Structure 1
Amino acid sequence: MPAPARSFDFFDSSSDTSVPAPDATSGPQGSASAAGVEARRFPELRPGRRAGSAGPPPPAASARFPDAPPVTADSGRGVSPAAAARRAGVSVEGPSETTRRLRPIPAEDPAGKPPAPTPPVPTPPSVTPSVERPFVSFAQPETYDDSPRPVARRRTRPRTAAAAACVVLGLGLIGGAVTGSWLTGDGADGSGSRSTYAAAADLWHSVPVDELFPPTVQGDGAGPGGADRTWTRIAVAPDTGCRDAFDPLLRKALAPVGCLRLLRATYTDATRSHVTTVGLLFTKTDAAAMTSLKARFQKEGLGSRTDLMPRPYAAKGTAAEGFGDAQRASWTVSVLTDAPVVVYAVSGFADGRTVTAPQPAADAMKAGATTAPAQAGLGHEAQGLADRVERGLRKTATSATEKPS
């Protein structure tokens, strides 16, 4: 039965632990000394220690690295080291080179000159196809020759023609505007305003009465709280002077502008419970005098004085037959500056009741007013009807100044 193998304790307790330094001399004797040291360090590898080992001991380390011929027992009997190694079961390494050969260093010139430098090895071109960037041009490329540029000449001609056309068109527009202004009287000095002002002065005898006082007047949102109103004309007074149309103090206040003609008409509401007289006083003065009169009415509050009320037109046989001075409940007076006209309106009850405390339309239309004219909506009647007759007058005057095409 073979003896059990010892553990992997490479150092025998009975052997000497000190390892003598190998001999510095080279040769077979130094190799034999190294083999003795190895045998003492690894007692398991000694001959006869391992069971079943019948072969000879392994060769020395120098047998595997043949830098010197190893010393063996068959050396003196003419046996080659290679044959001895084959007997021992060790493979013989042939002459081979495992390292990469280095580039040989050229020998120096005997004259002491350094060797010529080795030309660099050219790098082979890449086989990867290159991606070319697209060529983008945002303008005409520059040229560096003296050749003519037909493209520039072709562009210059249309631009010159377009500029000339613009100049001609501009001159034509300016000339047309000047000619039109001269024909219609509209100039920078205000001649256009004087033309409209003059045209409005002739409306009292050049325009039908139905245009100045329409038979029916729609008053959308003209009533209290924005209610709609509709007024129907019931009487038209003949054109007269201003002798009996106003109270004495109002006639005196209007005297500076003169009285050319007075036109009046009386309307009633849809319920025929209210009556309102609206009048157009055509004056004899210019726009400056009308502007001065309007400023005086606003400054002195002449339009809100009860002793400066206009008088109504009471036509017999109508709902306004009993509409006299004592029945006046609310009124308004408006002095125009773009036409020689004073527009006024006065309202009252259709049943002929007397009103002891008349109130101007501007005050009767205020929220929270508790007077009888305000509660009855007579302020809205007077102001609403006067505003719509005034708008019709302005529209008619503007149409009269337009030249037929």
Structure 2
Amino acid sequence: MAAAAACVVLGLGLIGGAVTGSWLTGGDADGSAKPDAFTAAADLWHSVPVDELFPPTVKGDGAGPGGADRVWTRVAVAPDSDCEKAFDPLLRKALAPAGCLRLLRATYTDATRSHVTTVGLLFTKADAAAMSALKRRFEEQGLDSRRDLMPRAYAAKGTVAAGFGDGQRASWTLSVLTDAPVVAYAVSGFADGRAVIEPQPAEDAMKAGATTPTAQAGLGHDAQGLADRVERSLRRTVSPATEKPS
């Protein structure tokens, strides 16, 4: 009887240890691992409905110049694709170390239909260390503010963005994420197809006292505001996949 009791105690200890170990490592008691946020995010490009990544309407409370509210409406969604034609050659080269798994894009217009903005999510093949290295390089070398490294717009035929080509790009922002294998970006311009001689990074166009047509039109706010909100939507989508039941 004493030997049997000892076996029971030992068995319970082993079971308890396994459960505790799985909780500490983020796995289940049966040994299966819970995906972390970085791993889960890599699969979102084919597993999440487009309306979750690029909502039909995006509200930007306080996102406009002077804290004005903005509302953007989606006018087109590009078929998921590779990265060959989506970036200027130098930007494609700068992003190459991370690889291109898939690219998702959508184009929005503001409430007045006078501005258009393309938002993109580049899903890379890189691991967390490679994404961190890429982010450091972009920050240290200022690659996210160079005019020859602007992302391209998605000009959908039959929409207000039909004339949104390379020469119409006015402002842009680009962010290399480190908690997901994703590069998020946005590029904005005028809906009437006018050429822009001096594009400005969104950060510069949003500065107080900026007097360029791009800045005064609020195109920097459009690019930054939409990029921020799509990025937040991406993170919210990842969270449920990595939550553990209580």
TM-score in terms of structure 1 length: 0.54
| Count of matched residue pairs | 227
1:366 aligns with 2:207: yes
1:284 aligns with 2:119: no
Deviates more, 1:391-400 or 1:328-337: 391-400
8 Å contact from structure 1 (residues 242, 261) kept in 2: yes
Instruction: For 1:266 and 1:217, locate their aligned partners in 2 and report how far apart those are by CA, in whole Å.
Output: 12
1:391 aligns with 2:232: yes
What SS does the corresponding residue of 2:189 show, helix, strand or coil?
Answer: strand
Instruction: For 1:175 and 1:228, locate their aligned partners in 2 and report how far apart those are by CA, in whole Å.
Output: 52
What is the identity, as a one-letter code, of the residue corresponding to 2:23?
G
Q: Partner residue of 1:53?
A: none
Instruction: For 1:207 and 1:334, locate their aligned partners in 2 and report how far apart those are by CA, in whole Å.
Output: 21
* Displacement of 1:399: 1.2
Instruction: For 1:183 and 1:385, locate their aligned partners in 2 and report how far apart those are by CA, in whole Å.
Output: 33
Instruction: For 2:197 and 2:206, locate their aligned partners in 1 and report how far apart those are by CA, in whole Å.
Output: 18
Q: Partner residue of 1:264?
A: 105
1:307 aligns with 2:148: yes
1:339 aligns with 2:185: no
Instruction: For 2:20 and 2:192, locate their aligned partners in 1 and report how far apart those are by CA, in whole Å.
Output: 58
Instruction: For 2:187 and 2:128, locate their aligned partners in 1 and report how far apart those are by CA, in whole Å.
Output: 25
What is the identity, as a one-letter code, of the residue corresponding to 2:113?
R
Determine which of 44, 69, 83 is the counterpart of 1:228. 69
Q: Partner residue of 2:7?
A: none
8 Å contact from structure 1 (residues 184, 403) kept in 2: no
* Displacement of 1:179: 3.8
Q: C-alpha offsets along residues 96-131 of structure 1, whole Å, 9 cap, x if unaligned?
A: xxxxxxxxxxxxxxxxxxxxxxxxxxxxxxxxxxxx
Instruction: For 2:180 and 2:150, locate their aligned partners in 1 and report how far apart those are by CA, in whole Å.
Output: 22
1:184 aligns with 2:27: yes
Determine which of 57, 61, 82 is the counterpart of 1:216. 57
Q: Partner residue of 2:5?
A: none
Q: Partner residue of 2:10?
A: none
* Displacement of 1:402: 2.0
Q: C-alpha offsets along residues 184-241 of structure 1, whole Å, 9 cap, x if unaligned?
A: 38xxxxx98x721110000001111110001011101000000100010000000000
What SS does the corresponding residue of 1:266 show, helix, strand or coil?
Answer: strand
Determine which of 52, 77, 96 is the counterpart of 1:255. 96
Give the structure, 1 or 2, with the largest relative contact order (CA under 8 Å, sep 6 or more).
2
Q: C-alpha offsets along residues 275-308 of structure 1, whole Å, 9 cap, x if unaligned?
A: 0000000000100000000000000000110000
Identity of aligned residues (%): 76
Greater helix content: 2
Unaligned runs of 5+ in 2: 1-15
What SS does the corresponding residue of 1:262 show, helix, strand or coil?
Answer: strand
Instruction: For 2:20 and 2:72, locate their aligned partners in 1 and report how far apart those are by CA, in whole Å.
Output: 43
Instruction: For 1:372 and 1:282, locate their aligned partners in 2 and report how far apart those are by CA, in whole Å.
Output: 33
8 Å contact from structure 1 (residues 220, 227) kept in 2: yes
Q: Partner residue of 2:8?
A: none
Instruction: For 1:403 and 1:326, locate their aligned partners in 2 and report how far apart those are by CA, in whole Å.
Output: 48
What SS does the corresponding residue of 1:233 show, helix, strand or coil?
Answer: strand
Q: C-alpha offsets along residues 297-356 of structure 1, whole Å, 9 cap, x if unaligned?
A: 000000110000000000011000011000000000000000000000000000100100
Q: Partner residue of 1:324?
A: 165
For residues 62-211 of structure 1, the aligned pairs below 5 Å read 178-184=21-27, 195-211=36-52
Instruction: For 1:348 and 1:267, locate their aligned partners in 2 and report how far apart those are by CA, in whole Å.
Output: 11
Instruction: For 1:342 and 1:179, locate their aligned partners in 2 and report how far apart those are by CA, in whole Å.
Output: 32
Q: Partner residue of 1:298?
A: 139
RMSD across aligned C-alpha pairs, in angstroms? 1.9
Instruction: For 1:233 and 1:268, locate their aligned partners in 2 and report how far apart those are by CA, in whole Å.
Output: 6
Q: Over alpha carbons, which structure has the higher Rg? A: 1
Instruction: For 1:303 and 1:182, locate their aligned partners in 2 and report how far apart those are by CA, in whole Å.
Output: 36
Instruction: For 1:389 and 1:183, locate their aligned partners in 2 and report how far apart those are by CA, in whole Å.
Output: 28
* Displacement of 1:389: 0.2
Greater strand content: 2
What is the identity, as a one-letter code, of the residue corresponding to 2:158?
G
When residues 360 and 259 of structure 1 are mapped into structure 2, their CA distance, relative to the original with a 3 A threshold, is same
Instruction: For 2:122 and 2:144, locate their aligned partners in 1 and report how far apart those are by CA, in whole Å.
Output: 15
TM-score in terms of structure 2 length: 0.88
What is the identity, as a one-letter code, of the residue corresponding to 1:298?
E
Instruction: For 1:315 and 1:301, locate their aligned partners in 2 and report how far apart those are by CA, in whole Å.
Output: 30
What SS does the corresponding residue of 2:200 show, helix, strand or coil?
Answer: coil
* Displacement of 1:400: 1.3
Deviates more, 1:395-404 or 1:293-302: 395-404
What is the identity, as a one-letter code, of the residue corresponding to 1:180?
W
